[in-house]
């Protein structure tokens, strides 16, 4: 994941960037790593958003699809834990590093499920303003055909899998998926573990929404709950709490400087994250980019 986003930052901040260029990115060295989290639930990592997989008697349910070029590797990793095909694919949100394999998995027969704003954004031209990145409308087979507004439940593989909407969090279409019996929660990009997060203001994301999503999961999770972040390693409730507190502290500091009328350059120059950079600043967003992102979001 780190590499993809460095690519985004390096290539895209100053130029318009079309998603198809990502199709030419070299995924040949990417390997899909599988971690078994319960009898039926797995976390899989490759490049792009972390995958969640439920595999059992009823078939395979997958959360997110990374990049199109990785579909054969993802299918091979899934085949190692189940002989059954992917029956359902749920997208945590519309971003291309979580939905790039939709077309392939749709063609292979998966029913795609997502919050209704994911379908809206995938079916029209997209724009991620912070990266100056344009995306093309997806073909019909890549779109969610089951959409919901607030939440949806799937009775699968011996448990009631619950997906619920986190309004205006990382985007305006985020879902968080809870596997109660397995004691696993997949938070999509409402949680970046051990790194500064990106919040997509131009897709309706907000700091307040991410904090609300984290608070909701903190209420649900126990000390042993395994929390899959959109990016970063598997997390715990303590990791999520640390993330929530970091985001709340830095955004409060940036908001108060905005209130004082400080310009973006002044806020960045004040290095409001200096004490935190050793722990959080080596991931997808550099400290300065993180502050810039927060400033743009909180100024709105
Ligand atoms: Zn995202």
pLDDT for 195-226, tens place per residue? 999 999 999 999 999 999 999 999 999 999 99
What's the CA-to-centroid distance between 253 and ligand 1, angstroms? Answer: 24
Band the pLDDT of 24: cuts 50, 70, 90: low
What's the CA-to-centroid distance between 93 and ligand 1, angstroms? Answer: 7
Alpha carbon 288 to chain centroid distance? 21
Write down the pLDDT at residue 26.
87
What's the CA-to-centroid distance between 142 and ligand 1, angstroms? Answer: 17
Q: Is a pLDDT exceeding 70 seen at residue 15?
A: no
What's the CA-to-centroid distance between 171 and ligand 1, angstroms? Answer: 8
Distance in angstroms (rounded) separating the CA atoms of residues 10 and 150: 36
- The whole-number average pLDDT for the span 232-259 is 98
What's the CA-to-centroid distance between 75 and ligand 1, angstroms? Answer: 22
What's the CA-to-centroid distance between 2 and ligand 1, angstroms? Answer: 13
Write down the pLDDT at residue 14.
34
Q: Which residue has the higher pLDDT, 11 or 259?
A: 259
What's the CA-to-centroid distance between 128 and ligand 1, angstroms? Answer: 10
Band the pLDDT of 18: cuts 50, 70, 90: very low
Write down the pLDDT at residue 184.
98
The full 3-state SS of 23-58, as one line of letters, equals HCCCCCCCCCEEEECCCCEEEEECCCCCEEEEEECC
pLDDT tens, position by position, 139-191: 999 999 999 999 999 999 999 999 999 999 999 999 999 999 999 999 999 99
**E-state strands within 26-179:** 33-36, 41-45, 51-56, 59-63, 86-90, 111-115, 126-128, 133-135, 146-148, 151-156, 159-166, 174-179
Write down the pLDDT at residue 10.
38
What's the CA-to-centroid distance between 174 and ligand 1, angstroms? Answer: 9
What's the CA-to-centroid distance between 78 and ligand 1, angstroms? Answer: 23
Distance in angstroms (rounded) separating the CA atoms of residues 198 and 283: 11
What's the CA-to-centroid distance between 57 and ligand 1, angstroms? Answer: 31
Write down the pLDDT at residue 7.
43
Distances in Å between the Cα of 221 and the Cα atoms of 17, 158, 189, 225, 289 are: 38, 20, 17, 6, 31
Which residue from 180, 175, 172, 179 is spatially nearest to 191, judged by alpha carbons? 175
What's the CA-to-centroid distance between 198 and ligand 1, angstroms? Answer: 7
What's the CA-to-centroid distance between 207 and ligand 1, angstroms? Answer: 14
Write down the pLDDT at residue 282.
92
What's the CA-to-centroid distance between 94 and ligand 1, angstroms? Answer: 7
What's the CA-to-centroid distance between 191 and ligand 1, angstroms? Answer: 10
- The whole-number average pLDDT for the span 89-106 is 98
- Rg over alpha carbons for the chain, rounded to the nearest Å, is 18
Write down the pLDDT at residue 22.
54
Write down the pLDDT at residue 25.
78
């Amino acid at each position: 994941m780190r590499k993809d986003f460095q690519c985004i930052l390096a290539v895209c901040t100053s130029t318009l960037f079309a998603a198809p260029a990502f199709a030419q990115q070299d995924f040949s060295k990417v390997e899909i790593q599988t971690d078994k989290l319960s009898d039926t639930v797995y976390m899989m990592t490759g490049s792009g958003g972390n995958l969640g997989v439920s595999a059992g008697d009823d078939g395979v349910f997958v959360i997110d699809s990374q990049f199109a070029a990785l579909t054969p590797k993802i299918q091979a990793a899934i085949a190692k834990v189940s002989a059954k095909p992917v029956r359902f694919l749920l997208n945590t949100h519309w971003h291309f590093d979580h939905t790039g394999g939709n077309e392939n998995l749709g063609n292979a027969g998966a029913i795609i499920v997502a919050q209704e704003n994911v379908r809206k954004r995938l079916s029209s031209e997209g724009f991620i303003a912070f990266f100056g990145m344009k995306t093309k409308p997806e073909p019909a087979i890549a779109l969610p055909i089951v959409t919901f507004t607030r939440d949806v439940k799937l009775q699968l593989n011996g448990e009631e899998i619950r997906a619920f909407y986190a309004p205006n969090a990382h985007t305006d279409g985020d879902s968080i998926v809870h596997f109660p019996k397995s004691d696993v929660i997949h938070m999509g990009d409402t949680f970046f573990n051990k790194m500064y997060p990106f919040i997509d203001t131009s897709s309706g994301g907000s700091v307040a929404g991410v904090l609300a999503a984290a608070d909701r999961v903190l209420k649900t999770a126990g000390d042993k709950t395994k929390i899959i972040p959109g990016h970063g390693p598997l997390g715990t409730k303590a990791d999520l709490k640390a993330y929530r507190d970091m985001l709340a502290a830095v955004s409060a500091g940036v908001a108060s400087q905005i209130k004082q009328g400080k310009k973006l350059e002044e806020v960045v120059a004040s290095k409001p994250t200096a004490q935190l950079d050793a722990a959080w600043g080596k991931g997808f967003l550099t400290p300065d980019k993180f502050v810039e992102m927060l400033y743009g979001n909180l100024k709105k």
